[in-house]
Amino acid sequence: MDVIERIKSQLSSNPVMLYMKGTPDFPQCGFSAAAVRALSAAGASFGHVNIFEDPELREALKQYSNWPTYPQLYVNGELIGGSDIIIEMYNSGELEKVLAEAK
Protein backbone atom coordinates (compact mmCIF):
# COMPACT_ATOMS: atom_id res chain seq x y z
CA MET A 1 0.00 0.00 0.00
CA ASP A 2 1.48 3.35 -0.93
CA VAL A 3 1.83 6.08 1.68
CA ILE A 4 -1.15 8.18 0.49
CA GLU A 5 -3.38 5.09 0.67
CA ARG A 6 -2.09 4.45 4.21
CA ILE A 7 -2.99 8.03 5.21
CA LYS A 8 -6.47 7.69 3.69
CA SER A 9 -6.94 4.35 5.46
CA GLN A 10 -5.88 5.80 8.82
CA LEU A 11 -8.22 8.76 8.39
CA SER A 12 -11.18 6.59 7.37
CA SER A 13 -10.74 4.23 10.32
CA ASN A 14 -10.32 6.99 12.94
CA PRO A 15 -12.96 9.75 13.03
CA VAL A 16 -10.58 11.84 15.14
CA MET A 17 -6.90 11.42 14.20
CA LEU A 18 -3.87 13.28 15.52
CA TYR A 19 -0.57 13.08 13.66
CA MET A 20 1.94 14.10 16.27
CA LYS A 21 5.50 14.00 17.51
CA GLY A 22 5.56 11.17 20.02
CA THR A 23 2.50 9.58 21.61
CA PRO A 24 -0.30 10.91 23.81
CA ASP A 25 1.43 9.34 26.84
CA PHE A 26 4.85 10.68 25.81
CA PRO A 27 4.58 13.68 23.48
CA GLN A 28 7.96 14.71 22.09
CA CYS A 29 7.29 18.40 21.57
CA GLY A 30 5.37 21.10 23.40
CA PHE A 31 2.94 21.64 20.54
CA SER A 32 1.96 17.96 20.43
CA ALA A 33 1.62 17.94 24.23
CA ALA A 34 -0.68 21.00 24.09
CA ALA A 35 -2.83 19.37 21.39
CA VAL A 36 -3.18 16.18 23.46
CA ARG A 37 -4.10 18.19 26.58
CA ALA A 38 -6.82 20.11 24.70
CA LEU A 39 -8.25 16.96 23.10
CA SER A 40 -8.23 15.12 26.43
CA ALA A 41 -9.85 18.07 28.21
CA ALA A 42 -12.55 18.07 25.52
CA GLY A 43 -13.18 14.38 26.25
CA ALA A 44 -12.04 13.24 22.82
CA SER A 45 -11.32 9.66 21.93
CA PHE A 46 -8.73 9.84 19.16
CA GLY A 47 -6.34 7.81 17.11
CA HIS A 48 -2.76 8.95 16.79
CA VAL A 49 0.31 8.36 14.67
CA ASN A 50 3.82 9.10 15.89
CA ILE A 51 5.35 10.72 12.81
CA PHE A 52 8.85 9.99 14.10
CA GLU A 53 8.19 6.28 13.54
CA ASP A 54 7.36 6.72 9.84
CA PRO A 55 9.57 9.24 7.98
CA GLU A 56 7.89 8.45 4.64
CA LEU A 57 4.45 9.24 6.08
CA ARG A 58 5.81 12.36 7.84
CA GLU A 59 6.90 13.84 4.51
CA ALA A 60 3.90 12.65 2.48
CA LEU A 61 1.39 14.04 5.00
CA LYS A 62 2.83 17.55 4.57
CA GLN A 63 2.01 17.30 0.85
CA TYR A 64 -1.36 15.59 1.43
CA SER A 65 -2.54 18.24 3.88
CA ASN A 66 -0.66 21.21 2.46
CA TRP A 67 0.23 21.90 6.12
CA PRO A 68 3.97 21.99 6.92
CA THR A 69 4.01 21.42 10.68
CA TYR A 70 2.95 18.91 13.33
CA PRO A 71 0.73 18.12 15.10
CA GLN A 72 -2.11 17.86 12.56
CA LEU A 73 -5.64 17.11 13.72
CA TYR A 74 -8.20 15.55 11.39
CA VAL A 75 -11.89 15.09 12.14
CA ASN A 76 -13.93 12.96 9.73
CA GLY A 77 -10.98 13.01 7.31
CA GLU A 78 -10.74 16.81 7.18
CA LEU A 79 -7.76 18.76 8.43
CA ILE A 80 -8.70 20.96 11.39
CA GLY A 81 -5.23 22.38 11.98
CA GLY A 82 -2.29 22.41 14.36
CA SER A 83 -1.93 23.02 18.07
CA ASP A 84 -2.67 26.77 17.99
CA ILE A 85 -5.96 26.16 16.17
CA ILE A 86 -6.82 23.21 18.43
CA ILE A 87 -6.24 25.29 21.57
CA GLU A 88 -8.14 28.27 20.17
CA MET A 89 -11.07 26.00 19.29
CA TYR A 90 -10.96 24.41 22.75
CA ASN A 91 -10.97 27.81 24.47
CA SER A 92 -13.96 28.98 22.40
CA GLY A 93 -15.94 25.75 22.91
CA GLU A 94 -15.84 24.98 19.19
CA LEU A 95 -13.61 21.92 19.58
CA GLU A 96 -16.25 20.03 21.57
CA LYS A 97 -18.83 20.81 18.87
CA VAL A 98 -16.58 19.55 16.07
CA LEU A 99 -15.70 16.43 18.06
CA ALA A 100 -19.38 15.74 18.74
CA GLU A 101 -19.94 15.58 14.99
CA ALA A 102 -17.20 12.97 14.51
CA LYS A 103 -18.68 9.77 13.12
Query: Which positions make up the binding site for [2Fe-2S] cluster?
Result: 29
SS3 string, the chain, reads CCHHHHHHHHHHHCCEEEEECECCCCECCHHHHHHHHHHHHCCCCCEEEEHHHCHHHHHHHHHHHCCCCCCEEEECCEEEECHHHHHHHHHHCHHHHHHHCCC
Binding residues: 29
